[in-house]
Amino acid sequence: MIKVTVLYPNEEGKKFDHGYWTTTHLNLVQGLLGPMGLVNGEMEKGVSGTDPSTPAPFIAVGHLYFNTTEEVHAAFMAHAGAIMGDISNYTDIKPQFQISETLL
**pLDDT tens, per residue, the chain with 104 residues:** 999 999 999 999 999 999 999 999 999 999 999 999 999 999 999 999 999 999 999 999 999 999 999 999 999 999 999 999 999 999 999 999 999 999 98
Q: Write down the number of H helices and E strands in the chain.
A: 3, 4
Domains and CATH numbers, the chain: 2-101 (3.30.70.100)
Task: Tell me the chain's radius of gyration from C-alpha atoms.
Answer: 14
Q: What is the dihedral of CA 18, 23, 43, 77, to 10 degrees?
A: -110
β-sheet with 96-101: strand ranges across? 40-45, 58-66, 2-9, 96-101
Separation of alpha carbons 45 and 68, rounded Å: 26
